[in-house]
Amino acid sequence: MIVACYVRVSTENQLENYSIEEQTERLKLYCKSKDYIIYDMYIDGGYSGGNMERPALQKLLSDVQSGKINAVLVYKLDRLSRSQKDTLNIIEDHFLKNGVDFISLNENFDTSTPFGKAMIGILSVFAQLEKDQITERFTMGRIGRSKAGYYHGGPTAPTGYDYKDGKLIVNPVTSQQVQEVYQEFLNGKSINSIQRQMHEKYGGWGSATLVLNVLKNSVYIGMVKFKGVAYPGLHTPIISREQFERVQQYLNSEERESRKTTAQKTPFKAGFTLSGLVFCKRCGAKFSAEHGNYTCYSRSKSSPKRVIDPNCKNDKWKISDLDELIFDEIEHMSIDDDRLNQVVSSVKQPSAVDEASFQAEIEKIDQQIKRLLDLYQIGTLPISEISERVHSLQAEKEKLENQAKENRRQMSVKERIERFKQLVSQIQYMRTQSVEKKRIYVAELIETIYIDGKEVSINWRI
């Protein structure tokens, strides 16, 4: 039988006694014992098993396609590939499709036997699992770096900072520009107008997207993020947390109103304090603010597409009366702890577990999986038993990861409650502000206002 011997090493593998010389010698001895004729030695030195673009592998596949060989021999399955998908693709779509058998010396099987065909799928799973473990350990390193407060976005620092010696350093010039962007946004200017203003004054602010990204980036309050989780950073904040949180509320408010008419699309244009928040409790339609009144669209029929029940006769409310009622309700909460606590108590306040506790348990499971892989490598346990144990550990790990996500959500509930109380305490100041600022303030506190005749009910945003 004419066979092709494939050999692959990476820097890491050379340190694990899988050198080119070691693999080549064992493959030659095996072929000699079986009276196989070696067509060629295909050697990829210093190439990762997670990449199909290897010169020797591509030449091997070409020779397989040409019908020059009867079988492919490797020292170990993961020399062919560490990717389950790539391994099965090579064996099934290249080797077997062209009548070429595949033999792995270390695992002692070949695809010419039923057992060998079954083992291919099983062992490929473990090759993929090993690759995933390497990736996960790398990810854990980045998480650890983030927890230590280091920015990991690369050498291109966010606007307002310079990147030096692995750390973010405040740039005295561009940091002032970032502060100006936040202040102009809080003053009610649109993102597009801010972009034009900044570009004309300083240059470099080439798009509205850049402005939006600056407004959304928590790096400016001293945080670093990895995989959606924020950690306290080592760098100096440029923006106060209060400013940042207000901006996020405004951005969300803008998104919620994105489907309104052109005049209503942004909460920063002059309008009415409660626009977009008032709904009819009888038919479910929104209330419009026009001619001095808040009126159900189903009743006013000023926008046919917003009519839900043409026969709705819900009461109109004077704009000034409803605005005053809502601000009075907020003010009552600011001086009446019982009323405030009644609203807050409607939100469950779970006792969240320290994030590190979950991470420690997940790391323990990772270590157990790694030990099982080591046992597989040296042949201490049968593969069926290892597979069962790994499956069980992976299920447990997934459960812990879901619990960790829920824990983070619970922590955010506590933060929202504190933010809600803080906003309520600002009511006296907000009464004197412009309509634009009042709109934004109320939108931070209130999700919806329902009108049922003379009755008004509020769904608080908490």
Cα angle 116, 118, 123 (rounded to 5 degrees) comes to 85
> Which residues are 9's β-sheet partners?
45
DSSP characters for 185-248?
Answer: HHTT--HHHHHHHHHHHHS----HHHHHHHHH-GGGGTEEEETTEEEE-SSPPSS-HHHHHHHH
Bridge-based pairing of strands 278-280 and 229-232 is: unpaired
Would you mind telling me the total number of residues written for the chain in this entry?
A: 462
Q: How far is CA 409 from the centre of its chain?
A: 14
Bridge-based pairing of strands 446-452 and 223-226 is: unpaired
Element (H, E) at 67: none
Residue type, 445: L
Q: What is the CA radius of gyration of the chain?
A: 32
- 69: which 2 tokens? 């060989």
Element (H, E) at 418: helix 383-424
Cβ atoms of 431 and 389 within 8 Å: the answer is no
> Which residues are 8's β-sheet partners?
44
Q: 3-state DSSP call for residue 296?
A: strand
Residues 6+ apart with CB under 8 A from 71: 1, 2, 3, 4, 36, 100, 101, 102, 103, 110, 112
Cα–Cα distance measured from residue 72 to residue 110, given in angstroms and rounded to the nearest whole number: 10
Cβ atoms of 79 and 108 within 8 Å: the answer is no
Cβ atoms of 269 and 436 within 8 Å: the answer is yes
Residue numbers annotated as active site:
10
Q: Among all chains, which residue has been given the structure tokens 């920015």?
A: 151
Residues 6+ apart with CB under 8 A from 400: 358, 361, 362, 365
How far is the first Cα of the chain from the last one, in angstroms, to the nearest whole number? Answer: 74
Cα–Cα distance measured from residue 198 to residue 177, given in angstroms and rounded to the nearest whole number: 8
Q: 3-state DSSP call for residue 318?
A: strand
By C-alpha distance, which of 401, 417, 399 is closest to 350? 417
Q: Count other C-beta atoms under 10 Å from residue 228's C-beta.
A: 7
Cβ atoms of 405 and 412 within 8 Å: the answer is no
Cα–Cα distance measured from residue 174 to residue 157, given in angstroms and rounded to the nearest whole number: 11
